[in-house]
Amino acid sequence: MSLLELESVDAAYGKAKVLHGVSLKVEKGERVAILGRNGVGKTTLVNTCIGVARLNGGQVSFGGKKVSTIRAFTAARSGLAIVPQGRRIVPGLTVRENLILGSAPNRSGPWNQEAVFNLFPILRERADTLGTAMSGGQQQMLAIGRALMANPDLLILDEPSEGLAPVVVDELGDALVRLAQNGTSILLIEQNFGLVHKISERYYVLSKGSVVEQGSMRGLSLESLKKHVSV
Amino acid sequence: MIIQVLNGLVYGGMLYILSVGLVLLFGLRRVVNFAHGGLFMLGAYAGYAASMQFGFWGGVVFSVVALAVLGALLDRLVFRPLQNVDHMITVLVTYGLLLVFEDFVHTVWGADLISVRVPALLAGTIGIGDTQFPVYRLVVIAVAIAVALGLSAWLHFSRAGLYVRASSVDSLTTAMQGVDTERLSIGVVALGTALAGLSGVVAAPLIALSPSMGSSILIESFIVVVTGGLGSFVGAFIAAIVIGQVHNFGVVYLPNVSSMLPLLLMVGVLIWRPTGLARTQS
Ligand SMILES: Nc1ncnc2c1ncn2[C@@H]1O[C@H](COP(=O)(O)OP(=O)(O)O)[C@@H](O)[C@H]1O
Ligand SMILES: [Mg+2]
């Protein structure tokens, strides 16, 4: 069953058309990457799934079901948890409260506060401080923990490595590998090839709002991925 | 002296119940509601009308429920469509609503002052020091404290309260986590207007009812909200208490400039702290 499927999707902000006939699919248990330079429409893919960008044509399906009207909360309730670009930790809420917010879809599964704290021990230490008072890397962990609290079928990450120091990216990568080993389905939007190579099995390349290339990561070295994918 | 402080608390408490509704509305809808004073007035009149049939307490219940329903309707028809438009349009539309409410009350009940009797149960006085203080006024203070505590507990210890706090700072992110922020907003706006109704009906025995009673208190509740720090519940509480004292002090000792004092206080606070009392970070 595909957890997320876009079929010939056209999407726009008002009159500004951004996505043109994008088709992509993430199956259960898969780890898929979306590559592409700044401004090609990667975040707009996410925004289309939450109704921030308008779906002008084509079809969006969550968990095998066509979505007729997309509302901001639809994706989360259908088992798609988003770690948004820029993290979007809610100001004024503690780390713990940000996590509780993530459990809003009220789905059952292995993830709860304790499990998130075990994955990211720093969050336990900082549980009662304001989420926005933490460092960028810690906030990214919180954003991922918050998404996991929904017990999602698919975890969508939009440039999680953006603005983080290389050591922090490595740490984050290790956590994502652990999630991957546990069978978590992941859609990873990234410009960091190392991270993509570590996590994903399949990739799409986006350029000017269209999918220009796709392929399997199997047997592809990091160097040949970089060379192969002309982004 | 203690009597003066208590009277200040009565006014401050009333002001708080009214202002906190404004805070809720601004938080969820980013709408500055000039009609809020009108809702205060409607609450007072609705309670007065219903009390003829069902007694004072029936009037309180009727007023709160009626204003909640009105709030839910207003959210759908007015506040939600207004949340993304120019602030000037919001001001004009909600000010227009205030005029409509005033005209409505004028048509139904006329322009004459109407006084509402304190319910018999609370009509007595109680000795404080060597003076007598009306029991009803103490009850108004108690109601305000109950609203403050209840609201604060709800916001900080319940899941819905967490969603409200989250949604008032970042509604998109809150919705992305799976919260239906539209439904939440209707509920919160209804709560805000119900509180406006409550403040009106509770204030009714203390002030004469007139179609213009909403306009004057509206200014002071705006001063409370701005002084407290736009969108802050704690700030609104502190500001309401302080402005209640200032208002009362002014009425007693400086009657000529009393209406200016809260305004001066607001200007002073904003010079000292441009984001208001409760907002320490930007
Ligand atoms: N909220 C928005 N309103 C209007 N245009 C937008 C908005 N967000 C992004 N865009 C435009 O859409 C295009 C794609 O942006 P985006 O999807 O954010 O790219 P990416 O995530 O790949 O860097 C860009 O040209 C950007 O300027
Ligand atoms: Mg982006």
SS3 for A35-56 is: ECCCCCCHHHHHHHHCCCCEEE
Q: Which atom of ligand 1 is nearest to the CA of A38?
A: 23
Distance from CA of A66 to the nearest CA of B (A): 18
Q: With CB atoms and an 8 Å threshold, state whether A50 touches B181.
A: no
Condensed to tens digits (0 to 9), the pLDDT of residues B40-91 reads 999 999 999 999 999 999 999 999 999 999 999 999 999 999 888 888 899 8
Residue from A218, A199, A214 nearest A23 by CA? A214
Most B CBs within 10 Å, among A101, A107, A108, A144, to test the B interface: A101
Q: How confident is the model at residue A230 (pLDDT cuts 50, 70, 90)?
A: low
Q: Give A-chain residues touching B232 at CB under 8 angstroms.
A: none
Sign for the CA dihedral angle at B17, B21, B22, B24 comes to positive
**Is A39 near ligand 1, meaning CB less than 6 Å away?**
yes
Q: Which two tokens stand for residue B31?
A: 């709408």
Q: Identify which of B96, B54, B44 has the alpha carbon closest to the alpha carbon of residue B208.
A: B44
> Shortest CA distance to A161 belongs to which of A186, A183, A194?
A194
Pocket test for ligand 1, best of A10, A13, A54 (most atoms within 8 A of CB): A13
Contact A6, A75 (CB under 8 A): no
Amino acid at B80: R
The answer to whether the CB of A36 is under 6 A from ligand 1 is yes
* Two tokens, residue A164: 């983080």
**What count of Cα atoms within 13 Å lies in the side-chain half-sphere of residue B220?**
27
Would the CB of A13 count as within 6 Å of ligand 1?
yes
Instruction: Please indicate, yes or no, if residue B134 is contained in any of the structural domains.
Output: yes
Please give the distance, rounded to the nearest whole angstrom, from the Cα atom of residue A97 to the centre of ligand 2: 26
Q: How far away, in angstroms, is A42 Cα from ligand 1 center?
A: 8
Work out the pLDDT band at A231, boundaries 50, 70, 90.
low
Is B37 a residue whose pLDDT tops 80?
yes
Residue B169 lies in a domain: yes
Helix H, strand E, coil C: the string for chain A is CEEEEEEEEEEEECCEEEEEEEEEEEECCCEEEEECCCCCCHHHHHHHHCCCCEEEEEEEEECCEECCCCCCCHHHHCCEEEECCCCCCCCCCEHHHHHHHHCCCCCCCCCCHHHHHHHCHHHHHCCCCEHHHCCHHHHHHHHHHHHHCCCCCEEEEECCCCCCCHHHHHHHHHHHHHHHHCCCEEEEECCCHHHHHHHCCEEEEEECCEEEEEEECCCCCHHHHHHHCCC
Q: How confident is residue B282, by pLDDT bands cut at 50, 70 and 90? A: very low
Q: Please name the residue whose Cα sits nearest to atom 4 of ligand 1.
A: A13
Q: Is A38 in the pocket of ligand 1 (CB under 6 A)?
A: yes
Domain count along chain B: 1
Q: Say which amino acid occupies A223.
A: E
Strand-pair partners of A80: A154
Average confidence score pLDDT of chain A: 94
| Bridging pattern class, strands A210-216 and B125-128 | unpaired
Q: Do A50 and B173 touch (CB under 8 A)?
A: no
Tell me, yes or no, whether B238 lies in a domain: no
By a Cβ cutoff of 8 Å, what residues of chain A touch chain B? Answer: 50, 52, 71-73, 75-77, 82, 84, 88, 90-93, 97, 100-102, 104-106, 146, 150
The rounded Å distance from CA A86 to ligand 2 centre is: 9
Stated pTM of the model: 0.91
CATH classification code of A4-228: 3.40.50.300
From ligand 1's centre to the CA of A61, what distance in Å? 22
Three-state SS letters, chain B:
CHHHHHHHHHHHHHHHHHHHHHHHHHHHHCCCCCCHHHHHHHHHHHHHHHHHHHHHHHHHHHHHHHHHHHHHHHHHHHHHHHCCCCHHHHHHHHHHHHHHHHHHHHHHHCCCCECCCCCHHHCCEEEECCEEEEHHHHHHHHHHHHHHHHHHHHHHHCHHHHHHHHHHHCHHHHHHCCCCHHHHHHHHHHHHHHHHHHHHHHHCCCCCECCCHHHHHHHHHHHHHHHHCCCCHHHHHHHHHHHHHHHHHHHHHCCCCCCCHHHHHHHHHHHHCCCCCCCCCC
A89-103 pLDDT tens trace: 999 999 999 999 999
**φ/ψ (deg, to 5) at A127:** -50, -40
Our answer on whether the CB atom of A15 is closer than 6 Å to any ligand 1 atom is no
- Compute, in angstroms, the gap from residue A39 CA to the centroid of ligand 1: 6
Ranges of each domain in chain A: 4-228
Nearest to A73 among B162, B170, B178 (CB): B178
In the structure encoding, which two tokens stand for residue A174, read together?
A: 């290790």
Residues of chain A contacting B170 with CB distance shorter than 8 Å: 88, 90-91
- Shortest CA gap B195–chain A (Å): 24
**Tens digits of residue pLDDT in A162-201:** 999 999 999 999 999 999 998 899 999 999 999 999 999 9
Report the residue from B166, B175, B180 with minimal CB separation from A93.
B166
Mutate to test the pocket of ligand 1, among A18, A156, A210, A212 (most ligand atoms within 8 A of CB): A18
Query: Which domain does B24 fall in, by range?
Result: 2-211
Q: What is the per-residue pLDDT across B209-230, written as a single tens digit (0 to 9) for each?
A: 999 999 889 989 999 998 888 7
Tell me the pLDDT band of B35, cut-offs 50, 70 and 90.
Answer: very high
Provide the 10 A C-beta neighbour count for residue B153.
11
